């Protein structure tokens, strides 16, 4: 999760909502990593999880990512939950809850709705405070910048 948080900083540096994800194999080797890049890539699907999953699939030469663990700083959305399902990831560990779009219990119960033919271990709230803080600080900063720009535009 420490590594995922560092990846989230990459997103922040690009003006994206700071979310980071890393996918590791059962020995802890990194197979894929990613951060939120929706704006910079003009791609609404470019969430951190999708980036990490894509990279791992390429690396393994396989569309099934069995026996892997995905660490992500924010609760996945329905799109990413779908990608986790299709990739057969074995374990999901996430940080902060997302009450707006979170699909792992906050807003939707994606995996409970599904009759899963594979077993996914889920653990949420890991380093939640640090993960949440990163996002809330980002929005706080962005609000302050917007306010400043508005004040400037008004000749203040």
Q: Which stretch binds Zn ion (CB under 5 A): 30-38, 41-49, 92-100, 143-151?
A: 41-49
Judged by CB, which is closer to Zn ion: 81, or 147? 81
Q: Count, in order, helices (H) and strands (E) of the chain.
A: 5, 5
Scanning residues 12 to 31, which ones bind Zn ion (CB under 5 A)?
Answer: none
Neighbours of 111 (CB within 10 A): 16
Tell me if 47 contacts Zn ion by CB under 5 A.
yes
Those residues whose C-beta lies under 8 Å from the C-beta of residue 122, and which sit 6 or more positions away, are: 91, 92, 93, 104, 111
Q: Is residue 131 a contact point for Zn ion (CB under 5 A)?
A: no
The answer to whether residue 37 forms part of the interface with Zn ion (CB under 5 A) is no
> What single-letter DSSP state applies at residue 104?
B
Question: Site for Zn ion (CB under 5 A): how many residues?
Answer: 4
Known active-site residue 33? no
Based on the shown chain and the rule CB under 5 A, indicate whether residue 80 belongs to the binding site for Zn ion.
Answer: yes
Catalytically annotated residue among 12, 16, 33, 49 = 49
Q: Determine the interface stretch with Zn ion among 14-22, 36-44, 79-87, 92-100 (rule: CB under 5 A).
A: 79-87
Nearest to 20 by CA among 113, 126, 146, 105: 126
Which position among 17, 31, 77, 103 is part of the footprint of Zn ion (CB under 5 A)?
A: 77
Q: Smallest distance from the beta carbon of 141 to Zn ion, in angstroms?
A: 22
| Straight-line distance from the first to the last Cα atom of the chain, in angstroms, rounded to the nearest whole number | 43
Beta bridge partners of 13: none
User: Does 1 participate in binding Zn ion (rule CB under 5 A)?
Assistant: no
Q: Is 105 left (phi over 0), alpha (psi -120 to 50) or beta?
A: left
Residues recognised as catalytic = 49
Residues at the interface with Zn ion (CB under 5 A): 47, 77, 79-80
């Amino acid at each position: 999760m420490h590594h995922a948080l560092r990846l989230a900083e990459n997103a922040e540096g690009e003006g994206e909502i700071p979310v980071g994800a890393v996918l590791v194999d059962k020995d802890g080797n990194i197979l894929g990593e990613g951060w939120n890049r929706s704006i910079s890539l003009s791609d609404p699907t470019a969430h951190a999880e999708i980036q990490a999953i894509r990279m791992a699939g390429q690396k393994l030469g396989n569309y099934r990512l069995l026996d892997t663990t995905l660490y992500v700083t924010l609760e996945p959305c329905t799109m990413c939950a779908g990608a986790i399902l299709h990739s057969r990831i074995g374990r999901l560990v996430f940080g902060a809850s997302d009450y707006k779009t979170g699909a792992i219990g906050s807003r939707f119960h994606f995996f409970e709705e599904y009759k899963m033919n594979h077993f996914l271990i889920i653990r949420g709230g890991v380093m939640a405070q640090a993960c949440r803080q990163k996002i809330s600080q980002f929005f706080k900063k962005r609000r302050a910048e917007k306010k400043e720009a508005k004040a400037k535009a008004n000749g203040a």
